[in-house]
Chains A and B, each alone.
Chain A
Amino acid sequence: MSRPAASPGGVEQRRQAMARATQRHAFGWLVFANTVGLGLGLLLLWPELNGAMSPFTYGRWMPVHLNGQLYGWCSVPLLGLLFAACLDWRHPHAHHHARVALAAWSLAVAGGVVSWLAGESSGKLFMDWSGWARPLLPVAMLVLWTLLAGHVWWRLRRPPPANRVSTSLLIGLALALVALLPLPGIFFWAADPGVYPPVNPGSGGATGASLLGSTLGIITLFGALPYLLSIPRRAPTTPSSSGRPAPSGSELSFGGALIASWIIYAVIDHGHASHTARDQILGLGSLFVWIPLAGWHLAAFAWPNVARRWLVSAYVCWGLLVASGWVTFLPGWSEALKFTHGLVAHAHLAMAGLVTAVHHALLTCLDPAPANQGRASSAPWAFLTWHLGLAVHLLSLFLLSMLEEANPAGLFLSDGPSQLLMAVRALSGAAMLVASFSWLKQAWSR
């Protein structure tokens, strides 16, 4: 890639084009994965529908739903975040480059969808990329990395910006990109069926250390959001002697707690540790400190109005997630809820609750034009429908888990109460699908 000619006039339009493209891909995947999810709910309710779809039965659609959410809706907005942070918007084709990366990513996930439906699976619940589909996402990652690296390189070669903060951020981005380079290779390796994470021998599920590590990764990423999106602070900060703005109290607390949390993660057992082990319980319990800290940190920034509404939702979900995640890990509760719909409820609270809310805020902030910000995510009825649907959905799953814990036969043999709850769950899923479709429609209509 040759060095681009500067063309500052179209910077805003190019960023808008990128934001639009990201929203379309992201909401497209959300609608797709939600549609599949609703279909799965109906297949559970009326298993005979599987016959009409043979051989594409329930088990083949499950990874489509799960991975469509994970690698589609939960990932694509983060690509937008990388574009916002790394791309050189003076490049006349910057928005096209973003589109290329988005297309490569979506194609890779679409390839994955075809592979799962075709029965190409590794047998792992996560990182289920096998056979011919295994290199797809690493290749998309490489495409993305190359484009980002090219743009950061161009920015580094331009005359240095006026303030040193921008220079530091740019160097930080370059270093982060260097650190991310091995990721496609690691992803490819981790997708091998022989590579399996530590197992909690008491439950057959994840260990406390694994849960803590993955949650800290999310905290780190979400904590960096305002900086990568260049969201200004609400209260002006006093510059230090070097001319840089002094860190605020919330930032200092956030940074300090993050380091402490990673140290806790480093010292607890990383092997096949049981949920009865004290270090696992306490390690996971240390996440409680992030309930107030996360709120304090995010509240320190001047988010656009629409984004703020979603961040409040994210914060509520976050609090519930930390609490429910810890409680369901505890001995006694874990035995009762493992393998039931209770843990499905927890996963849906994370994906449909926390991640969805944060990503709406993120997509809102990607667009530099205040008039456009949050246009796709702003409809109050869709916001309410989504949350109401989610609440009913979670409640029905929780009640189902109580039923199956007491009497698994009710679930296995489609007894009346379980069928009723399944129907409620499907209805709430339909409501959420309607809301997500309205967001997609808005993203396309602009």
Chain B
Amino acid sequence: MSDNPPPTPPRHALVAAVLCVAATYIYFLIFAEFALIELAKPLAEGRLRWLMGTLAVGGVAGSFLAARSFRFERYARAVGTGFRACGAGAAFVLLAKSWLMMILAALCVGLGLGWLTVTLVSGLRGVLGGKRLGLWAGISTGSAYAVCNLPWVFEASPAAQTIFAALVAVGGAIAAIWLDLTAPPRSDTRDYEPAVTWFWVAALLALVWLDSAAFYIIQHTEPLRAATWAGAWTLGGNALMHLVAAVAAGLLIDRQGAPVVVVLALAVLGTACSWLGDGENHALGVEVLYTAGVSLYSTALITYPAHGGRPWLSARVYALAGWIGSGLGIGLAQDLHAVPLWFIALAGVLVIGALAARWSWLRRAVVKAAVCLIGLGGFGWGTNSPMYAAEGSDPAVALGRRVYVAEGCIHCHSQYVRPHVAADVERWGPVRPLTESLLERPPLFGNRRQGPDLTQVGNRRTPEWNRLHLMHPQRFSPGSRMPAYDHLFHNGDPRGDALVAYLASLGTSTLGERLQQAAQWRPAIATPSNADVALPHGRLQFARLCAPCHGPAGHGDGPAAAGLSQRPPDFRQPTWRHVPDGLSTEARTLVLARIIKFGVPGTAMAGHEYLDDATVVSLARAVDALYAARRPPP
């Protein structure tokens, strides 16, 4: 950013500009992001998204209005107007006693803040000059974050924070009087070529998106929240980290340019997000990284449009990257409760793409990344699709069916037992009449079996087993190709339990028929005659398929057993739960084989219907040998 070295700005203008930027940030951080939401909560009754949406709509509208009305000759006055509108908005929020008034107040706040940010930043280079714009922006940003982390500000009541924000706005309006434009107002480097600006907006949007998602997760996860914002020392540390990181970012921007800082911010923020996990199991130090990353990119968020000195560019940055990026980030966090790795990678692609786009020969390749971004915009919206709407007699089952459909379970699991295929009936039966299936909208026959048929899964798996298996498939079915769906069970998400309810509903009326079928089943091979051959194979299969629950020696102490409400049996016990005493070896092997193949209904012992008879018998031999080894001599 070394084009057209500007004259040194007058000291009073410099101080005024720093104060104005800091005041804007303070207003946004302590009021628009925090206090406003807290004050609205008692009136919201679950409609907070509407309030946040209105705030964003106001912000976007205010941004574009400001761009349309921007005149360098009326700069100080327009900034002052923005501060006054913000102050009035804060007062309005304090006075709002109904939901409608609160919505209107949020609209005013959004309009005022949108106007103020775009106006202030569009003329900032004219006040501060281009040479040390980064440094001053860093000082302003860092100071604002530091002030917001002062314990008496951070821990104040929402009403007090609102009053503080209103006072800050008044202060900003007064400081704006001294905003004198003396330097050339705009830079003409390649970063501000029309096509390149879009890539920058996309990169900044990705960063805001990451920040907002991480912020939401930290704020709504008690251990993280405590680690990040609890206690005077933590807050003081935050304040210092913010200030240092922001000033460092400003210096880097002045010397190396904004791209370096943006990449650095991405690395730090991306690492923080990946360490967040699902919030509950986060890595140590994530809060420090988050704090640093936020300050880094926040400084770039000011300096890029400020160097540009183009009101419409500022409007795009704050409307699209700022307001919409925030909304998408919060939406992402609310729906996923985590920042997925692929999203961090995509943010990386966007940021690198923005830098690459500065060279026209690379720009074409970067367009593909932008297309991905459009897709992502839909994710936030799409994952909110009304799939939770219940229908049918049992809302949980109806919702579960919709989850089954949404997650694409039909692409691996069929729901059709072919009536004339003996193996089908034996493994997945009994047959369900076609006319019954056709009553569903639509029937979920599927066309693949990369996992078992689920037509009657309710009669052979307990809800507990299904739940645990959905969360950790490989733990309960080693080698299974099934993805883990533990995210469906997090943070009160109703989808996981609904899916379990749906699976439980499949085949409940056929339990008796299934039991009868199991009782009549006999393996196609003779049980005792090939025992010597079967045993080694059975032991191998036991270690692979049974040990996760039953333990390697059959003591019922496998790693997966901890999650079960009823501990698996200890095979050393003289009496077994489901195998009568006094049976001959052959009869005992047959009973065990039936249990292994069909499971024990009502318990966590799931069947292994897909195993061939030889494997089932060899497993039965292996289990029987565990018992026999400890049986007292006759």
**Which residues 59-88 in A have Cβ within 8 Å of B in the complex?**
59-63
Q: A58-B411, A118-B381, A339-B448 are in contact. Are A412 and B481 (CB under 8 A)?
A: yes
Contact of B418 among A203, A407, A412 (CB under 8 A): A203
Check: A219 CB closer than 8 A to any chain B CB: no
Q: Is the CB of A339 within 8 A of B414?
A: yes
Task: Enumerate chain A residues within 8 angstroms of B450, measured Cβ to Cβ.
Answer: 44, 411-412
Q: Is the CB of B383 within 8 A of A55?
A: yes
Task: Enumerate chain B residues within 8 angstroms of A118, measured Cβ to Cβ.
Answer: 378-379, 381-383, 385
A117 CB to closest chain B CB, in angstroms?
A: 6
Q: Is the CB of A120 within 8 A of B382?
A: yes
| Interface-facing stretch out of A191-199, A239-247, A262-270, A316-324 | A191-199
Q: Is the CB of B448 within 8 A of A51?
A: no
Closest to B383 in A: A118
CA A123 to CA B447, docked complex, whole Å: 12
Q: Is the CB of A51 within 8 A of B478?
A: no
Task: Enumerate chain A residues within 8 angstroms of B342, measured Cβ to Cβ.
Answer: 52-53, 56
| Interface-facing stretch out of B129-137, B185-193, B607-615, B624-632 | B607-615
Closest to B453 in A: A339
Q: Is the CB of A193 within 8 A of B441?
A: yes
**Which residues 303-342 in A have Cβ within 8 Å of B in the complex?**
335, 338-340
Task: Enumerate chain B residues within 8 angstroms of A335, measured Cβ to Cβ.
Answer: 418, 420-421
CA A411 to CA B442, docked complex, whole Å: 28
Contact of B410 among A54, A61, A123, A413 (CB under 8 A): A123
Q: Is the CB of A119 within 8 A of B483?
A: no
Task: Enumerate chain B residues within 8 angstroms of A122, measured Cβ to Cβ.
Answer: 405, 442
* Number of residues from B at the complex interface, CB < 8 A: 68
Closest to A118 in B: B382
CA A228 to CA B416, docked complex, whole Å: 43
**Which residues 478-503 in B have Cβ within 8 Å of A in the complex?**
478-488
CA A201 to CA B409, docked complex, whole Å: 22
Closest to A341 in B: B448
Q: Is the CB of B451 within 8 A of A412?
A: yes
Q: A114-B382, A115-B382, A204-B418 are in contact. Are A59 and B483 (CB under 8 A)?
A: yes
A426 CB to closest chain B CB, in angstroms?
A: 13
Q: Is the CB of B479 within 8 A of A415?
A: yes
Q: Is the CB of B383 within 8 A of A119?
A: yes
Q: How many A-B residue pairs have CB under 8 A?
A: 176
Q: Kindly supply a per-residue 1/0 record for chain B positions 359-395, scoring 1 wherever the CB is within 8 Å of any chain A CB and 0 otherwise.
A: 0000000000001001100110111011100000000
Check: A4 CB closer than 8 A to any chain B CB: no
Q: A50-B483, A54-B340, A60-B408 are in contact. Are A343 and B447 (CB under 8 A)?
A: yes
Q: Is the CB of A123 within 8 A of B444?
A: yes
Check: B510 CB closer than 8 A to any chain A CB: no
CA A203 to CA B477, docked complex, whole Å: 27
Check: B284 CB closer than 8 A to any chain A CB: no
Q: Is the CB of A52 within 8 A of B405?
A: no
CA A43 to CA B473, docked complex, whole Å: 14
Closest to B433 in A: A201
Contact of A59 among B385, B412, B478 (CB under 8 A): B412
Contact of B420 among A117, A202, A415 (CB under 8 A): A202
Task: Enumerate chain B residues within 8 angstroms of A10, measured Cβ to Cβ.
Answer: none
Q: Is the CB of B434 within 8 A of A199?
A: yes
CA A415 to CA B484, docked complex, whole Å: 19
Q: Which of A113, A204, A338 has the most chain B CB atoms inside 10 A of its CB?
A: A204
Task: Enumerate chain A residues within 8 angstroms of B6, measured Cβ to Cβ.
Answer: none
Q: Is the CB of B610 within 8 A of A204?
A: no
Q: Is the CB of A119 within 8 A of B480?
A: no
Task: Enumerate chain A residues within 8 angstroms of B416, measured Cβ to Cβ.
Answer: 203-204
A360 CB to closest chain B CB, in angstroms?
A: 23
A320 CB to closest chain B CB, in angstroms?
A: 20
| Interface-facing stretch out of A124-132, A151-159, A283-291 | A124-132
Task: Enumerate chain A residues within 8 angstroms of B381, measured Cβ to Cβ.
Answer: 118
Task: Enumerate chain B residues within 8 angstroms of A195, measured Cβ to Cβ.
Answer: 442
**Which residues 395-415 in A have Cβ within 8 Å of B in the complex?**
404, 407-409, 411-415
Task: Enumerate chain A residues within 8 angstroms of B419, measured Cβ to Cβ.
Answer: 201-202
Check: A226 CB closer than 8 A to any chain B CB: no
B44 CB to closest chain A CB, in angstroms?
A: 25
Q: Is the CB of B405 within 8 A of A47?
A: no
Contact of B407 among A43, A52, A60, A204 (CB under 8 A): A60
Q: A47-B474, A122-B442, A409-B615 are in contact. Are A132 and B385 (CB under 8 A)?
A: yes
CA A121 to CA B387, docked complex, whole Å: 10
Q: Is the CB of B442 within 8 A of A55?
A: no
Q: Is the CB of A114 within 8 A of B379?
A: yes
B614 CB to closest chain A CB, in angstroms?
A: 10
A122 CB to closest chain B CB, in angstroms?
A: 7
Q: Kindly supply a per-residue 1/0 record for chain B positions 426-464, scoring 1 wherever the CB is within 8 Å of any chain A CB and 0 otherwise.
A: 010000001000100111111111111100000000000
Check: A344 CB closer than 8 A to any chain B CB: yes
Q: Is the CB of A194 within 8 A of B610?
A: no
Q: Is the CB of A51 within 8 A of B484?
A: yes
Interface of B is mostly: loop
Task: Enumerate chain A residues within 8 angstroms of B444, measured Cβ to Cβ.
Answer: 123
Q: A111-B378, A123-B442, A412-B481 are in contact. Are A338 and B410 (CB under 8 A)?
A: no
Check: A57 CB closer than 8 A to any chain B CB: yes
Q: Is the CB of B406 within 8 A of A121?
A: yes
Q: Which of B374, B387, B479, B483 has the most chain A CB atoms inside 10 A of its CB?
A: B483
Contact of A62 among B387, B406, B411 (CB under 8 A): B411
Task: Enumerate chain A residues within 8 angstroms of B451, measured Cβ to Cβ.
Answer: 412
Q: Is the CB of A117 within 8 A of B478?
A: no
Q: Is the CB of A59 within 8 A of B341?
A: no
Q: Is the CB of B418 within 8 A of A414?
A: no
Task: Enumerate chain A residues within 8 angstroms of B213, measured Cβ to Cβ.
Answer: none
Q: Is the CB of A339 within 8 A of B447?
A: yes
B547 CB to closest chain A CB, in angstroms?
A: 14
A197 CB to closest chain B CB, in angstroms?
A: 10
Check: A99 CB closer than 8 A to any chain B CB: no
CA A16 to CA B492, docked complex, whole Å: 56
Q: Is the CB of A119 within 8 A of B406?
A: yes
Check: B336 CB closer than 8 A to any chain A CB: yes
Q: Kindly supply a per-residue 1/0 record for chain A positions 90-116, scoring 1 wherever the CB is within 8 Å of any chain B CB and 0 otherwise.
A: 000000000000000000001101110
Task: Enumerate chain B residues within 8 angstroms of A120, measured Cβ to Cβ.
Answer: 382, 385, 387, 406
Q: Is the CB of A54 within 8 A of B445?
A: no
CA A57 to CA B485, docked complex, whole Å: 9
Contact of B408 among A44, A51, A62 (CB under 8 A): A62
Q: Is the CB of A196 within 8 A of B443?
A: yes
CA A131 to CA B402, docked complex, whole Å: 12
CA A247 to CA B6, docked complex, whole Å: 81
Q: Is the CB of B379 within 8 A of A414?
A: no
Q: A54-B484, A194-B442, A413-B480 are in contact. Are A110 and B374 (CB under 8 A)?
A: yes
Closest to B545 in A: A413
Closest to B380 in A: A118
B598 CB to closest chain A CB, in angstroms?
A: 15
B119 CB to closest chain A CB, in angstroms?
A: 35
Q: A118-B385, A119-B383, A123-B410 are in contact. Are A50 and B484 (CB under 8 A)?
A: yes
Q: Is the CB of A121 within 8 A of B612?
A: no
Q: A59-B409, A338-B418, A339-B414 are in contact. Are A117 and B434 (CB under 8 A)?
A: no
Task: Enumerate chain B residues within 8 angstroms of A61, measured Cβ to Cβ.
Answer: 408
Task: Enumerate chain A residues within 8 angstroms of B545, measured Cβ to Cβ.
Answer: 413
Closest to B444 in A: A123
Task: Enumerate chain B residues within 8 angstroms of A57, measured Cβ to Cβ.
Answer: 407-408, 483, 485
Across the A-B interface, the 6 shortest Cβ-Cβ residue pairs: A118-B382, A59-B408, A114-B378, A204-B416, A50-B483, A119-B406
- A→B interface (CB under 8 Å): 43-44, 47-48, 50-63, 110-111, 113-115, 117-125, 131-132, 193-196, 199, 201-205, 272, 335, 338-340, 343-344, 404, 407-409, 411-415
Starting from the known contacts A57-B408, A118-B385, A408-B427, 15 additional A-B residue pairs (CB-CB under 8 Å) come to A50-B484, A52-B341, A56-B342, A58-B412, A59-B483, A63-B411, A110-B371, A114-B382, A119-B406, A121-B405, A123-B405, A124-B442, A199-B438, A202-B420, A413-B545
A-B contact pairs, 8 of them (CB 8 A): A53-B340, A54-B338, A58-B483, A118-B382, A204-B414, A339-B449, A412-B479, A413-B544
